Each structure stands twice: as C-alpha cells, then as structure tokens.
Structure 1
Amino acid sequence: MEHVDVTGEVCPRPALIVRRRLSALDTGDTLVVQGDYPPAEQNLRRTCANHGFAVEGGSEDNDDGDRFELRITVTEDAALAEE
C-alpha cells in the first residue's frame, strides 16, 4: 500500500500529485492519501470516480477538522487520460 500526504497543498497540486502516484500503480494496488484541504478531497473523489478508481474513507470518518484520508484502489476499469 502506497501513501502520499498532500497536507498544506491547494488545488490543483493535490490532484497532480495523486495522479502521478496512481499512474505508477497496478490493478488492485491502493494509494492512501492524507490531506487537509476540503476542496481537494472533493476534487479527488470526483476525479477518481470519473476515471474508474474505487474511493473509500474521507473526512466523515474522523473528527479531526478538515483532515481527510482517502483510500484509492486501482480497479480493472481505472484509466487516466494520457497527457
């Protein structure tokens, strides 16, 4: 399981960081993302759902203010658009 901390980063940096990390993973691998910027959590959830990644967790799972932790799993349907 890979981990990345985007705490202190604001959009669009968290999405770019996570995208880079996800592109190196294989089907079935999970990336745990920690951060503290609510718009980044929403953006990551939306982007991952649109590209076929499974997303669990989030800020609703804790009482630590704006902090969030997402577990993003690469599914067989997951695909990132070519840059």
Structure 2
Amino acid sequence: MEIDVSGTVCPQTVLIVRRCLEELEPGDELTVVGDYPPAERSIRRSCHKHGYSVSTTSTTDAEAEFALRIRVTSAAKTSATHP
C-alpha cells in the first residue's frame, strides 16, 4: 500500500499513517511519501514507539521530500491491539 501525505502537517500526518497501518497484517508494507520533513521525524518516532520497522525508500514523486517504507511486525500488531 502507498499513501501520499503531502500537504498535511502533524499531528494529522501521523494519524493518517496510523489509520492505514491498522488495516495491514504482519509482513505487509506501507510506503509513505510526503513533503513536510518534520512529519517524517514524527512518523518515524511513532512507528518505532509502536514496534513498526521503518526504512527510507525511493520514490518517483519529484515533489516528495521523503519516502518511508514501514513494515508491519507481529510485535506492532500486538501493541496496537493491547494498549
């Protein structure tokens, strides 16, 4: 799955990403592209806090400031269902 969060700022950006991640199963990946660098830091921080694996990826979107690949882990799904 891929989402473009360009034009959004925190906390909206993180909320959009979290909502998408909730729909995925362990092993699935979400690619997030955006144009607001502080949002990249917030997304990374939130994902690490909740057990998701995050890495930088490439994008064909010339407008994008960042592109992240977020992998859903079984630990992330467990923490998402048990706060």
Task: Report the TM-score when normalising by structure 1.
Answer: 0.84
Structure with more helix by fraction: 2
Does 1:76 pair with 2:74?
yes
Partner of 2:53: 54
Q: C-alpha offsets along residues 13-59 of structure 1, whole Å, 9 cap, x if unaligned?
A: 1101001100000000000000011111000000100100000006x
Gaps of 5+ in 1: none
Give the whole-Å Cα distance in 1 for the aligned partners of 2:39 and 2:45.
10
Identity %: 47
> Which amino acid in the other structure matches residue 37 of structure 2?
P
Give the whole-Å Cα distance in 2 for the aligned partners of 1:81 and 1:37.
29
Give the total of aligned pairs: 79
Task: Report the TM-score when normalising by structure 2.
Answer: 0.84
* C-alpha RMSD over aligned residues: 2.2
Give the whole-Å Cα distance in 2 for the aligned partners of 1:65 and 1:7.
9
